[in-house]
Structure 1
Amino acid sequence: MDNLIHCVIPARKGSKRLKGKNTRLFLDKPLISWTIEEAMKSKNIGSITVSTDDEAVMEIANNYGISILQRPQELAADDSTTSDVVLHFISGMMERGDAVSHIMLLQPTSPLRTAKHIEEAIDYYFFNIDKIDSLISVSRSEHPPWWNKKIGENGLLTDAFPYDRSKFNKSQDFPRTYIVNGAIYIAKVDELIIHKGFETGRILPYIMERQCSIDIDNEFDLLLAEFIAKA
């Protein structure tokens, strides 16, 4: 396999929790610009394509001189998945006869993910290429998930995940767990097609710092990310 990665940045127009989030100003520029600029710094990314149905996003992408893939309406609905968008991009590449062996997904909602993270993830991916199918970025869980509670039908709290309290009563007693942070996804195209997504059979974790792992989904996330960026 060659070491050329094609990067897709998905940016649909509709967003119920944070309207127009991809073009919302994050500090001094549109949110999506942060991802585009960091991707452009990477020497291992062969092409960058923004998949969108948003004319405002198209204008921003044009200003950077990067490719735009007009997203069909059926892939811009609330129930459309990011994997569907990536598969749509791959299908177009193959129809044109373009070689595509590796694909990277960078979501514009992770503005604190830097070119350094992207380069490290790509290097880590290719260093382990013979024993993995994909790479997904994660951050360490703040608390053991076994401490989560749920409210039963009787209205009372109960454990979300039963565990042996005699063995596990301090946070350090539990195994270390990680949360997918949505910042970086890389996969072999053949495996992505088979699994219809980046969660393949052999996934390599790329661990990121919590302060760089904010995935902006609402107003609070945006304010928190801006606070961290300024700090």
Structure 2
Amino acid sequence: MAGVVGLITARGGSKGVPQKNIKILAGKPLIAWTIEAALQSQELDRVIVSTDDKQIASISRQYGAEVPFIRPLKLALDDSSHVDVVLHAIEWLAEQEQYETEYVTLLQPTSPFRIAADIDGAINFAREKKAKAVIGMMEAPSHPVCLRGMNEEGLLLELFPEKEESALRRQVLADVYAFNGALYVVRPDAIKEDKTFRPINETYGYKMPTKRSWEIDTEWEFLIASLLMENQIQTDSLRKTA
């Protein structure tokens, strides 16, 4: 059977924010926000969590996700590759359940503002383009021509010395986008062959609003995300009762 799998990756070790994936954000474990969005998707056939941590596995099951395997420790280290984690899940499903996937949609718990419509939109876009890969993107917070290097003495270094000063005017700059980390839709055969989520010249970008692209990697970002989520919940509640 070929379907689309939503694969949520959540290892137990986290240095930036200890136990980040199950830390409470606006009343729920962080991972719960991604599980709930994935379960509301109309295009995902299964929602699977890949983790090495029994507590994460237990909480994930409580919120309705499948945890059919415990990820090997060698795939849960600081330098473990997300590509290898996805390949492990694909191979496990094929070998243990004879389950073949049309696409794998990688969903990281660190993007709690992503909603089901984003997931479905990216999957449908991948099908429309017959894409090897589709990646969530947002408007870049700063244009590359506005960036500078800096040496040890603090002297600014031009990254684009050939650009004229007039090119810095916002009105003439082309739109640029940044990876937001919220979702990656990839064909299993493509990731097996290319060993990347971004095959050169064969990867499409799926634009998402900045407000749904917030990514958590630090305690400060977790705090801001908590405030934003609590405000969103309050706003939604007031809108329903109005």
Counterpart of 2:90 in structure 1 is 90
Between 1:154-163 and 1:49-58, the stretch displaced more is: 154-163
Q: 1:20 and 1:190 mapped to 2: Cα distance?
A: 33
- Kindly tell me the number of residue pairs found equivalent between the two proteins: 228
* SS across alignment from 2:112: coil
Matching of residues 1-231 of structure 1 within 5 Å: 4-68=3-67, 69-96=69-96, 97-129=98-130, 132-201=131-200, 202-229=202-229, 230-231=231-232
Aligned alpha-carbon RMSD (Å): 1.7
1:208 offset after TM fit, Å?
0.7
Contact 1:34 1:108 in 2 (8 A): yes
Q: 1:65 and 1:225 mapped to 2: Cα distance?
A: 23
Superposed CA deviations along residues 3-51 of structure 1, whole A, max 9, x for unmatched, are x201110000111111111001110100000000110011211111101
Q: Structure 2-normalised TM-score?
A: 0.88
Between 1:29-38 and 1:200-209, the stretch displaced more is: 200-209
1:209 offset after TM fit, Å?
0.8
Q: Which structure 2 segments of 5+ residues have no match?
A: 233-242
Contact 1:101 1:190 in 2 (8 A): no
Q: 2:153 and 2:104 mapped to 1: Cα distance?
A: 48
Between 1:146-155 and 1:98-107, the stretch displaced more is: 146-155
Contact 1:140 1:176 in 2 (8 A): yes
Q: 1:47 and 1:212 mapped to 2: Cα distance?
A: 23
Runs of 4+ aligned structure 1 residues displaced above 4 Å come to: none
1:166 offset after TM fit, Å?
4.3
Superposed CA deviations along residues 143-163 of structure 1, whole A, max 9, x for unmatched, are 211211221244311223434
Q: 2:227 and 2:183 mapped to 1: Cα distance?
A: 22
1:188 offset after TM fit, Å?
1.1
Identity level (%) = 34
**1:115 maps to amino acid:** A
* SS across alignment from 1:70: coil
> Where is the helix percentage greater, Structure 1 or Structure 2?
2
**2:127 maps to amino acid:** F
1:165 offset after TM fit, Å?
1.8
1:195 offset after TM fit, Å?
1.2
Contact 2:145 2:168 in 1 (8 A): no
Q: Which structure 1 segments of 5+ residues have no match?
A: none
Q: Structure 1-normalised TM-score?
A: 0.92
Q: 1:147 and 1:137 mapped to 2: Cα distance?
A: 23
**2:112 maps to amino acid:** P
Q: 1:109 and 1:57 mapped to 2: Cα distance?
A: 14
1:211 offset after TM fit, Å?
1.2
**2:79 maps to amino acid:** D
Between 1:24-33 and 1:164-173, the stretch displaced more is: 164-173
CA shift in 2, pair 1:48/1:103, >3 Å: same
* SS across alignment from 1:136: strand
